[in-house]
Structure 1
């Protein structure tokens, strides 16, 4: 699905329920004033400002951007004073922020060189430093976002030449009102409104500028407040609730995003999460415990036949036990399979809320839920950007497991065997020196086809 950019009157409707994390980071890096972040009516978030301002690499880019924008904004005046009054850019704090200059100096960064006597030379040096350092900010952006598109925002076209710097200054001066908060960045200014309005609008435009289309909108938007409110109301009206998960027919990453999207204060009545799992489902279910404050119980089922799972039967039996023995009156079922309908019909006095995946749940099942007055929602719609943690943890867990099964090497045994076969005699001191110099620095070498070998330092 592609989201069309429309008039300002429809903008809030089109970009509703979006997040503001990405635009806040971009706003910080291009130098948007702190007071904008402090204004609750503006998109950039003060919390993100504090996070970014705590990092040296991002602070440096911010202050470089502030100085570059200040020069662009006052290019004609500064250029005239340098030519007619022979003033140095260092002596114009009214045009170039002294605070940013002092900060860069404290970090050992100087863009004013003795050989630079013209204004465009200062901009070229700023461009060079920004180009060399912008990649230091890459870890602060998610892996799913095309970093090259972000990087381009900070690279002035033809920015190492006099012509390029003057063209950029002219373009900025002519369209200053179209730049976000009038801060310079590399884009073709047009009447798009505030391009940092929210994450959904920003990435839509960002990808479009590069001839690309962004489609993963659940990474930059959250489920509607109506859905969240309905879930919280369901939990609030319960005496005790549990979440019942059919792991075969659910996505662990989407569920993690859903749980993170709910205010923990409103989930206090959820006593536990019951995961009905079998050996064929994703390993990520085994680390869900680390990403929620709700108690998680793993119920592993066996298979009588290889192609026949007992998850549905055990799920129904355990839910009945929870209802009659533990007095659980409310169940949140996470599954896109229709087999849980037997559970719902078996407990007429219990309350149910169902979470499904949009493409996996049949129309007939959704219609049956609606006709029975059972509220259901799509876990696909919850903001998924906060599920990156469980994805990375699951990935690393499996890679470590693979390494443990593939590599069994003890370097002490290797060294002792090499000494035995070569019949070399070394003192203990010589062994320690050899070990520290040649064995300890050993490293992996990966070829173009992904084959791994271990190489000793020679």
Structure 2
């Protein structure tokens, strides 16, 4: 990520590059950090393993596993209040959270609860100092009662474990598809927790290593104590979770977001502009990365300055560009550029002329150009009166154009650095649209017509009433069966 703050010392950066032999021998962000903060401080930050991690996954998990409300209220703690408020509206999430909070309460206060039940004949609703009454009431309101007559604490723990195991899959859709759900699910399942022996064994392990459990909330976790808070951020949590299963999480873009330097550089650029347009070369930009960039910036800052997004598209690009407007509040102008010659795209020339028209006719003084094509350096260098910020992809932008932008004091920014983990909806919708389109083209029939043709061929004499019952019993309940290889067959008959 190379986004320069308002008063960035460009000459100092150039000297730094020249001191390293004129080459990008280290990552650009390391050079920026050395210029801004000094080499020693920047060198330490380079090894910050979990730097710029996101908080979506750990916030959702923390809510479900029963991390106390005051942790979410504390702005200095990782779990975020916005996710607490969102999940509070989900009945399935509330049930799991309240069950997990009760389980932790029983584990922490087992001896006190046991004595109160045995010697004082108290029920679970009459000892709020040990068992949170609000959890019991909320579960009852959501249709789940956990009361048992003459039950001991261990029996309550077994019942709670059974409820969690039976209901945790109801929360699967709360987590993104790129995360292995089976790894998450296992954290909620107490080993052997539906038997007295297993529940006591898990409790003994919890007591012996309570300090390694985040916020001392029970979960099925047995990591070494030296890893610290596993709910520090998504980057740390997902990495350790996969390692716990002898697996490796590879796509760190899902759990890493651009840092404050990068985002503040973009905000500074917008603040200095009077009117900004985003111009997109759809042949040389990724729609999912562009959406992730926009999605992870302050929407108020974008809507206050960006007048529109102008897409210059070609017939051979991804169809995802067609649905981008459904995922942003910024107005979108979609230009599909027809080709005169099949082997020659006109996107670059149309984008160039369109940008000039925006500048001279529509009083747009600043442009965010989304493209990794170095040909647009001609446009940028020919319009010194306009302000440019360039969004590029790291593997498509060469060192020469980066040096040219550095020398000219042009801000550029890697779209790859913005978190893609919270931007799945556009990918999912794009794929679903194409699947629906292909299904419409491949499969289209009228079952009533097929039914009448079958009667004619078999010469089966069915009365009107018999046909109606046959249709309702055997044809209306038809369904699709998909095997492991993806082969599809139509099943007829009663469910």
Whether TM exceeds 0.5 here: the answer is: yes
Give distance in 1, aligned partners of 2:362 and 2:310: 14
Shifted more, 197-206 versus 97-106: the winner is 97-106
Aligned CA distance change for structure 1 residues 44 and 448 (closer, same or farther; 3 Å): closer
**Aligned pairs, number:** 449
TM-score, with normalisation over the residues of structure 2?
0.83
8 Å contact from structure 2 (residues 103, 218) kept in 1: yes
Higher relative contact order (CA 8 A, sep 6+): 2
Q: Does 1:126 align with 2:160?
A: yes
Match of 2:207 in 1: 173
8 Å contact from structure 2 (residues 56, 422) kept in 1: no
Give distance in 1, aligned partners of 2:45 and 2:409: 32
Give distance in 2, aligned partners of 1:107 and 1:265: 37
Shift of 1:300: 2.2
Corresponding residue SS for 2:388 = strand
8 Å contact from structure 1 (residues 75, 169) kept in 2: no
Match of 1:245 in 2: 280
Shift of 1:370: 0.8
Shift of 1:291: 1.1
Match of 2:265 in 1: 230
**Which sections of structure 1, spanning at least 5 residues, go unmatched?**
1-8
Shift of 1:113: 4.8
Give distance in 2, aligned partners of 1:47 and 1:427: 61
Shift of 1:307: 4.2
TM-score, with normalisation over the residues of structure 1?
0.89
Instruction: Provide the aligned C-alpha RMSD in A.
Output: 2.6
Aligned CA distance change for structure 1 residues 11 and 324 (closer, same or farther; 3 Å): closer
Give distance in 2, aligned partners of 1:88 and 1:327: 73
8 Å contact from structure 2 (residues 284, 371) kept in 1: yes
Aligned CA distance change for structure 1 residues 259 and 107 (closer, same or farther; 3 Å): closer
Q: Does 1:394 align with 2:434?
A: no
Give distance in 1, aligned partners of 2:471 and 2:90: 37
Corresponding residue SS for 1:18 = coil
Match of 1:413 in 2: 449
- Deviations 1:217-250, CA, capped at 9 Å, x for gaps: 3222321222222222222322322211111111
**Which sections of structure 2, spanning at least 5 residues, go unmatched?**
1-43
Shift of 1:187: 0.9
Aligned CA distance change for structure 1 residues 424 and 328 (closer, same or farther; 3 Å): same
1:199 pairs with 224, 234, 244, which one?
Answer: 234
Match of 2:176 in 1: 142
Shifted more, 88-97 versus 191-200: the winner is 88-97
Shift of 1:22: 1.6
Shift of 1:89: 5.3
Corresponding residue SS for 1:243 = strand
Match of 1:254 in 2: 289
2:197 pairs with 151, 155, 163, which one?
Answer: 163
Match of 1:324 in 2: 360
Shift of 1:428: 4.6
Shift of 1:79: 3.9
Shift of 1:281: 1.1
Match of 2:318 in 1: 282
Give distance in 2, aligned partners of 1:86 and 1:291: 57
